[in-house]
Each structure stands twice: as structure tokens, then as C-alpha cells.
């Protein structure tokens, strides 16, 4: 589709992936301006947007469920394309409190769809694009040797989070089929990279190593995820925005399946070695076992699993390769290991960032989540 100079609305742009996306998009496309709409929930942080080109980026604190606000933004900023990241995104939180997931992920997505329909189809018809960011979790869990999920795999979500994302995918598709909204959906696998809140596995393990706190592995630690560098994900979204076909869904993965235990081992090895290379880290992180010559592996604790835990996710990305020209740069092998180690080093260097986002509200929730495990 042709959207020559983009004024792009990014919902959830103060969250992990949204902030990485806004940053990359502004860098790669000098003709672009971005409006970020974010409610700044516990997961959204302006610190994630530090250093972004403020002349080309407007931040609006607001709720995607506020349909009149969304309509006003589309009109005021002549926005013809949006990328929708805003969501409640953590499975554990959806188990402890599903209501907000229905509100944000289903009602919130529907609010955006209503605004897009009104402004782009009724008031000012013309080229537009609604890009919906979704997850591989909508497909449910895979047996260990089963083939990876394709776009035509049945939708069988297991957690309230996954069910709410699946419902939002259905609504987006329905608005395309029924009203002719130009909409594309991408379903991606587990992202890792800078600015991820330390409630998700990778940053949680890194930060806990550095603070000398236990490393909780759910169940036997052998759940498999497909790990995708956030920059690869952002590249795929940009491609789908440009060449994705309206009404289509594309799976975006990293072709890199690893168990949680393997992920933990990589983190431990990178941190242990970082302390060997740089003795000043021992002063910065005195509670880390590596500060006294021990290995962070001593912090591992196998804890009670999630109810309904998904054993394995894996994505067949051949459609995105073929139709979008997508190829993950940090795919399995040395490229993944190097990108992953780079991520671990980012957290070692950016303690000011993660200390600023782990506020009282965050700590209270972590205490609750791990209390009976």
C-alpha cells in the first residue's frame, strides 16, 4: 500500500516493543512523524523514550478506550496509519486478574477500530492502515515435536491474556471483512531486548542475578519459547506496514527455540564472565554472587508453574519470508547468541533505567506473584 509520508499513531509506544518501534521507525524513516498514545500504566514509562527525536514525536497520555480522543488524534494529526501495541501483556497478571485484559485488549482494540472506521472510512475515505500487533500465544501450546504454528493453525488460547489477544485479532479481522478496514495482523513470538520491564523472564533473571535474588524457574524449566530480538520484530512490522496485504495475518518469529533453562544458562554465563572481565562491576553490584567469585547459578530456584502453562510455542515464518521479505537477523546460532549477550550487557549498563521502572507498585505485584510459588 502507498502511504508516502507517514503521520503514524503508535498505541502503547511507552511500553517495551512500542518504544523500540517508535525509536527505530523515526531513525529509519526521516519523513515520518509519530504520535504516541499511551495510558502510562505500570508497564508504560517515559524513560523508555529518552533520547527520541522530540521534534518528530508527540506524546499523548490517554486511554485507547477513549474513542473520541482517538478520533480527535486521527483528525488533528492527519493520521492515516496506526500500529497498535497497547495491551495488558503479562500472562501471570492475567491469571491473577483477568478483567483488565478483557477491558484493555478487547474493549480497547474495539475502541480503536471504531475510531478508525469513523475517520478513515466514513469521514475521510482514502488510503489507510490499521496494524494490529498480536502474539503466537493465540494458537495455544505445541507438543515437543509438532510442526510450528502456521497462520492457518487453529486458535486455541489457554491463558486469559492469550484469549483476550485472540478476541482482539478476531475483531480486527471482522472490521476488515465487514467494513473494508485496511487491516493487517502480525502474531509474534517472545521478544527480548532493551527496555523490557523486569517482570518477563529475560530481564527478570538478569536483574535478579545482579541484585543477588533468586532466579525463579517455573515447573521444570523446560518450557520452550521462540526468542525474537525486538529489532527483528520492529523490522517485520515496518515491512508489513509497507507491503503486507490487507486482511492478512503474518507470523513473525526468530526461528530460535530455547527452553527457559537454556535462557537462564546464557544469562548466568554472560554475567559471570562480565564480572571476570570488569572488576568494577563487583562494586556496582555487591550482592551478585559473581562479585565474590561465585556463579549466579547458585540463585536458581525451581518454583510452582503457572496453571494452564503452555509447554511450547514455535512459529512457521515462511509466509512472512516469502511475502514481506522478512528475515530475522538474530536467528538461531551465533547471531542469536551475540544479540542475546548484547541484551544482557545492556541491562548490566542501564541499572538507572531498570531501577527507575521497578517502583513500589511494581515491587508489590512481584511480591504477590511469587508469594506462594
Annotated active-site positions, please? Answer: 136-137, 161
CA distance 139 to 272: 37
Contact with ligand DAU (CB under 6 A) among 41, 104, 189, 231: 189
Q: Quote the Cα angle for 55-60-64, to 5°.
A: 140
Contact 217, 264 (CB under 8 A): yes
Q: Identify the three-state secondary structure at position 217.
A: strand
Q: Identify the three-state secondary structure at position 38.
A: strand
Binding partner of 139, given ligand DAU, ligand NAD, none, CB within 5-8 angstroms per partner class: none
Task: Give 84 or 223: the residue with its C-beta nearer to ligand DAU.
Answer: 223
Residue 87 as a binder of ligand NAD (CB under 6 A): the answer is: yes
Task: Give 137 or 182: the residue with its C-beta nearer to ligand DAU.
Answer: 137
Binding partner of 109, given ligand NAD, ligand DAU, none, CB within 5-8 angstroms per partner class: none
Binding partner of 193, given ligand NAD, ligand DAU, none, CB within 5-8 angstroms per partner class: none
CA distance 40 to 18: 12
Residue 135 as a binder of ligand DAU (CB under 6 A): the answer is: yes
Q: Identify the three-state secondary structure at position 30.
A: coil
Task: Give 105 or 274: the residue with its C-beta nearer to ligand NAD.
Answer: 105
Contacts of residue 73, defined as CB under 8 A and 6 or more positions apart, other chains included, come to 9, 35, 37, 60, 79
Contact 110, 157 (CB under 8 A): no
Distances (CA, A) of 199 to 102, 282, 339: 20, 24, 20
Contact with ligand NAD (CB under 6 A) among 79, 86, 236, 271: 86
Residue 137 as a binder of ligand DAU (CB under 6 A): the answer is: yes
Binding partner of 260, given ligand DAU, ligand NAD, none, CB within 5-8 angstroms per partner class: ligand DAU
CA distance 170 to 176: 10
- Closest-by-Cβ residue to ligand NAD is 15
Residue 21 as a binder of ligand NAD (CB under 6 A): the answer is: no
CA distance 317 to 148: 9
Binding site for ligand DAU (CB under 6 A): 89-91, 135-137, 189-190, 200-201, 204, 216-218, 223, 225, 260, 313
Binding site for ligand NAD (CB under 6 A): 11-12, 14-18, 37-41, 43-44, 63-65, 85-87, 89, 104, 108, 133, 135, 165, 188, 190-191, 197
Amino acid at each position: 500500500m502507498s502511504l508516502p509520508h507517514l503521520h503514524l499513531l503508535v498505541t502503547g509506544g511507552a511500553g517495551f516493543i512500542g518504544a523500540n518501534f517508535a525509536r527505530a521507525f523515526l531513525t529509519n524513516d526521516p519523513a515520518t512523524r509519530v504520535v504516541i498514545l499511551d495510558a502510562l500504566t505500570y508497564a508504560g514509562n517515559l524513560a523508555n523514550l529518552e533520547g527520541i527525536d522530540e521534534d518528530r514525536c508527540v506524546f499523548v497520555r490517554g486511554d485507547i478506550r477513549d474513542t473520541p480522543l482517538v478520533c480527535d488524534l486521527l483528525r488533528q494529526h492527519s493520521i492515516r496509519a496506526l500500529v497498535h501495541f497497547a495491551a495488558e501483556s503479562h500472562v501471570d497478571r492475567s491469571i491473577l486478574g483477568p478483567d483488565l485484559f478483557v477491558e484493555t485488549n478487547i474493549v480497547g482494540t474495539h475502541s480503536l477500530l471504531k475510531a478508525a472506521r469513523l475517520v478513515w472510512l466514513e469521514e475521510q475515505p482514502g488510503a489507510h492502515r490499521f496494524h494490529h500487533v498480536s502474539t503466537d500465544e493465540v494458537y495455544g501450546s505445541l507438543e515437543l515435536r509438532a510442526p510450528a504454528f502456521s497462520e492457518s493453525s487453529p486458535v486455541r488460547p489457554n491463558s486469559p491474556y492469550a484469549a483476550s489477544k485472540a478476541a482482539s485479532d478476531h475483531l480486527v479481522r471482522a472490521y476488515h471483512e465487514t467494513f473494508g478496514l485496511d487491516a493487517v495482523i502480525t502474531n509474534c513470538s517472545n521478544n527480548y531486548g532493551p527496555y523490557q520491564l523486569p517482570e518477563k523472564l529475560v530481564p527478570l533473571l538478569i536483574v535478579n542475578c545482579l541484585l543477588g535474588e533468586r532466579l525463579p524457574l517455573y515447573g521444570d524449566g523446560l518450557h520452550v519459547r521462540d526468542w525474537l530480538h525486538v529489532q527483528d520484530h520492529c523490522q517485520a512490522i515496518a515491512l508489513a506496514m509497507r507491503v503486507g496485504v490487507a486482511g492478512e495475518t503474518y507470523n513473525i518469529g526468530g526461528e530460535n527455540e530455547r527452553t527457559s533453562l537454556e535462557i537462564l544458562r546464557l544469562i548466568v554465563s554472560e554475567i559471570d564472565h562480565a564480572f571476570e572481565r570488569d572488576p568494577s562491576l563487583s562494586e556496582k553490584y555487591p550482592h551478585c554472587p559473581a562479585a565474590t567469585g561465585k556463579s549466579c547459578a547458585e540463585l536458581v530456584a525451581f518454583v510452582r508453574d503457572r496453571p494452564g502453562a503452555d509447554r511450547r510455542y514455535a512459529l512457521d515464518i515462511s509466509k512472512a519470508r516469502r511475502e514481506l521479505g522478512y528475515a530475522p537477523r538474530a536467528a538461531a546460532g551465533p547471531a542469536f547468541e551475540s544479540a542475546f549477550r548484547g541484551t544482557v550487557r545492556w541491562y548490566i549498563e542501564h541499572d538507572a533505567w531498570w531501577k527507575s521502572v521497578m517502583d513500589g507498585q511494581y515491587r508489590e505485584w512481584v511480591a504477590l506473584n511469587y508469594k506462594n510459588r
